[in-house]
């Protein structure tokens, strides 16, 4: 019988991303055949072993689903929020147990993928796959060419320098004293675009993720979602090789 790492199996069952499942294991939230497991190296035989998460039996999802949501501001990108705030799962109602793929902060709108395919989630969130994400960002003041160049080359944020980014000015409005930029990155550090703008001393007024890879949300109203087509899933998978 085929053996599988416990965290990989849990992710494939749509419990959470593989990294989050590793946390659940070390926190003692997983039982294998009635015993709490806290080691990450454990392998299981899905056909034979009984796996429980928070005392509920975990079974693999036969049907894999892939969803694109145009996230509005005010929703958090978690399955379960400790502060009882609205989560993206309040917007997407399907019978499968799905999790957000990556994250968008509460005050950022735009493209977010949700799925129950653990392998897909693991690949898409892994930094080595370098999937491009495009943001429209409105900042205070009139951005100068020298600032755009700085963002393109990479700016220092905390302990690291960002990789080269694609940056263009979409619009400047001297009357309102704002600039709108399009920034494309492939890293996805926490709140990266906001921090990049802070690094050039620009305050972010609005932030929207317009694209993940080839997927865009321009025909999807805020708060609405749709299933990805087989072709879209295939293209995303190809981007990751």
- Name the DSSP letter for residue 128: G
What's the rounded Cα separation, in Å, for the pair 139 and 122?
33
What's the rounded Cα separation, in Å, for the pair 60 and 117?
10
Residue whose structure tokens are 């969130």:
125
Structure tokens that stand for 57 in this block: 């039996």
18-26 helix and 118-125 helix, angle to the nearest 10 degrees: 100
Q: How many CB atoms lie within 10 A of CB 10?
A: 27
Residue 105 is a catalytic residue: yes
Listed in order, strand segments (DSSP E) in 162-234 are 166-173, 178-185, 204-212, 215-216, 225-227
Q: Residues for the chain: how many in total?
A: 241
67, 161, 169, 190 from 212: Cα distances, Å: 12, 22, 20, 16
- Name the DSSP letter for residue 87: B
Distance of alpha carbon 30 from the chain centroid = 24
> Which of these is catalytic: 86, 105, 173, 177?
105
Active site residues: 105
């Amino acid at each position: 019988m085929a053996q599988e790492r416990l965290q990989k199996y849990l992710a494939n069952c749509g419990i959470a991303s593989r990294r989050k499942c590793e946390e659940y294991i070390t926190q003692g939230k997983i039982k294998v055949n009635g015993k709490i497991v806290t080691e990450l190296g454990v392998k299981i035989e899905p056909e034979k072993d009984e796996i429980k998460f928070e005392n509920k039996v975990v079974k693999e999802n036969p049907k894999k689903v892939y969803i694109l949501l145009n996230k509005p501001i005010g929703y958090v990108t978690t399955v379960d929020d400790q502060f009882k705030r609205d989560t993206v799962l309040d917007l997407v109602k399907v019978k499968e147990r799905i999790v957000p793929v990556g994250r968008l902060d509460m005050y950022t709108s735009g493209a977010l993928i949700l799925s129950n395919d653990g392998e897909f989630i693991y690949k898409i969130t892994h930094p080595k796959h370098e999937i491009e994400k495009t943001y429209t960002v409105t900042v205070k003041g009139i951005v100068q060419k020298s600032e755009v160049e700085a963002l393109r080359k990479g700016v220092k944020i905390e302990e690291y320098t960002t990789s080269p980014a694609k940056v263009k000015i979409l619009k400047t409005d001297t009357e309102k004293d704002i600039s709108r930029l399009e920034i494309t990155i492939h890293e996805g550090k926490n709140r990266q675009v906001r921090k990049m703008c802070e690094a050039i001393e620009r305050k972010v007024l609005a932030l929207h993720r317009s694209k993940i890879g080839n997927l865009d949300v321009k025909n999807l109203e805020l708060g609405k979602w749709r299933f990805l087509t087989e072709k879209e899933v295939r293209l995303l998978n190809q981007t990751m090789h």
